[in-house]
Amino acid sequence: MKTIGILGGMSAASTQLYYGELCRLTRERLGGLHSPQLLIRSLDFAEIENLQAKAAWDEAGRVLNAEAKALENGGAEFVILATNTMHKLAEQMMQGVGIPLLHIADATAQAIQASGLQRPGLMATAFTMEQEFYTDRLVKAGLSPLVPNETDRAEIHRIIYDELCKEIITRQSEARYVEIACRLADAGADSLILGCTEVGMLLNQDNVPLPVFDTTRIHCAAALDMALS
């Protein structure tokens, strides 16, 4: 089994989900007492969020690049970045790094295509929904992503940062997310991407009237496939 390098902490809540899901999948796949071989570097999200808020993306990219190199030096054989938003800096992060990055948007697009769907709604941070680094990758894969309206985008983003990143889960916020997912369905979405690693804390296939693609679960499954290849 290859050693997976996880660059996480953005937020800590999402990194916990990654660890748990990778352990669960490995037990299912291999049985017995098997668990994944991991190196985890978890950053202080307060510092990263401050750089996001200031649009200091170059500085954030330098941080991620140093951490990716540290994972490589520690023995990781490939890297996964346990956050959708910070894939904005994927290219800068991997400069001078000799091991590959398994990109979360590519894994997600492949899963959607395999299901025969084409127009996914996207619920994520404002950065991921409004900037092109993520949606362009989906378009390049042959998909036609649909994002919520401005008011809904702001509400999704607020709940992620004010609640989910702090592991606060409320029925009120779940209801708001379900309403937004339903509006995306009414607008023509044929599926829904949970495009922030924390969104799955509120939404799942049981409360969404569309096929759901949880990027955390998809990314973990693809990482385990790569580790076992």
Choose the catalytic residue: 26, 196, 215, 216. Answer: 196
- The yes-or-no answer on residue 23 being catalytic is no
The three state secondary structure string of the chain is: CCCEEEEECCCHHHHHHHHHHHHHHHHHHHCCCCCCCEEEEECCHHHHHHHHHCCCHHHHHHHHHHHHHHHHHHCCCEEEECCCHHHHHHHHHCCCCCCCECCHHHHHHHHHHHCCCCCEEEECCHHHHHCHHHHHHHHHCCCCCECCCHHHHHHHHHHHHHCHHHCCCCHHHHHHHHHHHHHHHHCCCCEEEECCCCHHHCCCCCCCCCCEEEHHHHHHHHHHHHHHC
- The yes-or-no answer on residue 83 being catalytic is yes
C-alpha gyration radius of the chain: 17
Which amino acid would we find at residue 128? T
Q: 204: buried, middle or exposed (CB in 10 Å: 19+, 13-18, 0-12)?
A: middle
75: closest CA among 23, 22, 4?
Answer: 4
Choose the catalytic residue: 15, 26, 83, 125. Answer: 83
Q: Which active-site residues does the annotation give? A: 83, 196
